[in-house]
A and B are shown apart, each in its own frame.
Chain A
């Protein structure tokens, strides 16, 4: 059986912006939490054969994340890009992604990272899968083949859960489940010189514009501010014994030890 695995990835903002948030090539990179999902997909493909499709939604500049995925070894890049998608919250994003994934049928597995390094909600994977009506396990850290499909382990607080899923299915991949491969120079050359991004717009999907973008987003981010951490440096004087005594006292007082 040749697999078709879809990996949903995002081009994230690298550093918090000082003013207006503008997504452009210089400020975007492939979400580090998506790399393990790509690695899992590529290993499954190496083992069983098939195709890995990387899928992203965002402005044109999001292409950078898709090229990085192709440099890692994915076969196909699809970018959903439409001005009407601007302002989408996680629900609207999931609605659009699910509509696009349906168009990529047939597939066996849809993979996500557990969260993104910029907005950090962890909602898009599970929400998309609910809309696709697929079996799903989140925070998966090991995957084996089983007669019925997949046997996966999920890492939760202090214990492991094991699941068996029939295919097609969806997983979010634990960031420490695998070490993602480094991107080699020939991969970059191949991706940028021969790779072609398949672009899709809302017109290609079976959803209406009012389901996405501002119109389709029940949540708003009215304001945001940068977190600034004030650091104070204090010198403790006295003999070494006195300094240690004073330092330990301070740490106990602040609840860090004791």
Chain B
């Protein structure tokens, strides 16, 4: 696996891993159980550049490549998937669209603060009646002089409870269907910006996922990202990048679960020997390790293609689909190897299992990904 990585990427892995094992590992169980966002560690992560991984240096970022981004997300998720999710979403679907589609003024206004982690970003697309059917959103933005009056009910917003800068998908023209969708930046604190209750989720519990509602929220026209009608293009472009992050996150979760399973299998004795001596367990370990490796290679390939300026959308979709499904399988087998103890909160594998599940749902379900991939293959 390391042969694919340059010395720089290995240094990224070593340093992020050392930080996460020292700072995050001791609190991972507690923040999951208490559904607490650990600001005390997040501030340190921000100081190390985790919130502006690919942001250019002059805008306050680390100016790194996509492969470094993938390695960072993987390593954080290996220890704490909820924070891996936080930085993945922040970097890919919040910061990246601002960099790619924002005006110079917009970039200088928001990106340095986001890159330094002084403000947290969020992506507000999903609504109660629009998920996979992104073009079906009902949020509206009606032009009123030099402002838009925005009404929106966005749900399942990752980082929602702590987000300061939200990319909100709205309908600026009700008659243009998908081409009537735009993205407006809404900042927490604007009158009419309301953060809903936190979701009581199955996994990723340390991430404050919430709804965000905008009630007659007046946002200046300068907050429009790109042009009116570019919303879906901006969204899909962000999600393309985001898929590399979610794939890496799923790889990290699976890797963490695999390591726990291996440790347990060497230590747990049944029938007079460590269970790792039993072929049934060896078969599971072999399958897990092989699948994690394959998923990792797919995630890295998508990142490398992006770094080379080549089309990576299809590779990213395949990586996200495969890695998310692998993480569900691997975490399931990790519990199986642990037996009854794996079903208990005394061991971390049940958390990996819960955290893995959502990677098949968010930023495009597995089913939507299959449709996208098939469309790509059939149009070749």
A residues lining the B interface (CB < 8 Å): 25-26, 29, 63-64, 67-68, 71, 182-186, 188-189, 191-193
Provide the residues of chain A in CB contact with B72, threshold 8 Å: 185
CB distance from B319 to the nearest CB of A (A): 22
* 15 A/B residue pairs, CB under 8 Å, sorted by A: A25-B10, A26-B10, A63-B7, A67-B8, A182-B44, A183-B48, A184-B48, A185-B53, A186-B49, A186-B63, A189-B62, A189-B63, A189-B64, A192-B8, A192-B11
Query: Across the interface, do B15 and A182 meet the contact criterion of CB distance under 8 Å?
Result: yes
The complex places the Cα of A193 from the Cα of B47 at a distance, in Å, of: 20
Provide the residues of chain A in CB contact with B12, threshold 8 Å: 185, 188
Per-residue contact bits, chain B 54-71, to A (CB 8 Å; 1 contact, 0 not): 000100011110001000
The answer, yes or no, to whether B346 is at the interface (CB within 8 Å) is no
Residues A192 and B48 in contact in the complex (CB < 8 Å), given A26-B2, A183-B15, A185-B53: no
CB distance from B93 to the nearest CB of A (A): 19
Chief secondary structure at chain B's binding surface: helix
CB distance from B378 to the nearest CB of A (A): 40
- Other-chain residue from B7, B18, B49, B50 in contact with A192 (beta carbon distance below 8 A): B7
The answer, yes or no, to whether B263 is at the interface (CB within 8 Å) is no
The complex places the Cα of A192 from the Cα of B5 at a distance, in Å, of: 13
CB distance from B120 to the nearest CB of A (A): 18
The complex places the Cα of A228 from the Cα of B187 at a distance, in Å, of: 59
Provide the residues of chain A in CB contact with B7, threshold 8 Å: 25, 63-64, 67, 192
List the 4 shortest-distance A-B pairs measured between CB atoms, nearest first.
A185-B49, A185-B62, A192-B8, A183-B15
- Other-chain residue from B2, B18, B48 in contact with A185 (beta carbon distance below 8 A): B48
8 further A-B contacts with Cβ under 8 Å, apart from A184-B48, A188-B11, A189-B63, are: A25-B7, A68-B14, A71-B15, A182-B44, A185-B49, A188-B15, A189-B68, A191-B11
* Closest B residue to A72 using CB positions: B15
The complex places the Cα of A133 from the Cα of B10 at a distance, in Å, of: 39
The complex places the Cα of A193 from the Cα of B61 at a distance, in Å, of: 15
The complex places the Cα of A139 from the Cα of B2 at a distance, in Å, of: 37
* Closest A residue to B269 using CB positions: A233
CB distance from A251 to the nearest CB of B (A): 23
Provide the residues of chain B in CB contact with A182, threshold 8 Å: 15, 18-19, 44, 47-48
The complex places the Cα of A26 from the Cα of B4 at a distance, in Å, of: 12
Q: Which among A25, A184, A189 has the highest number of chain B CB atoms within 10 Å?
A: A189
The complex places the Cα of A112 from the Cα of B241 at a distance, in Å, of: 44
Provide the residues of chain B in CB contact with A67, threshold 8 Å: 7-8, 11
The complex places the Cα of A192 from the Cα of B6 at a distance, in Å, of: 10
Provide the residues of chain A in CB contact with B50, threshold 8 Å: 185
The complex places the Cα of A191 from the Cα of B15 at a distance, in Å, of: 14
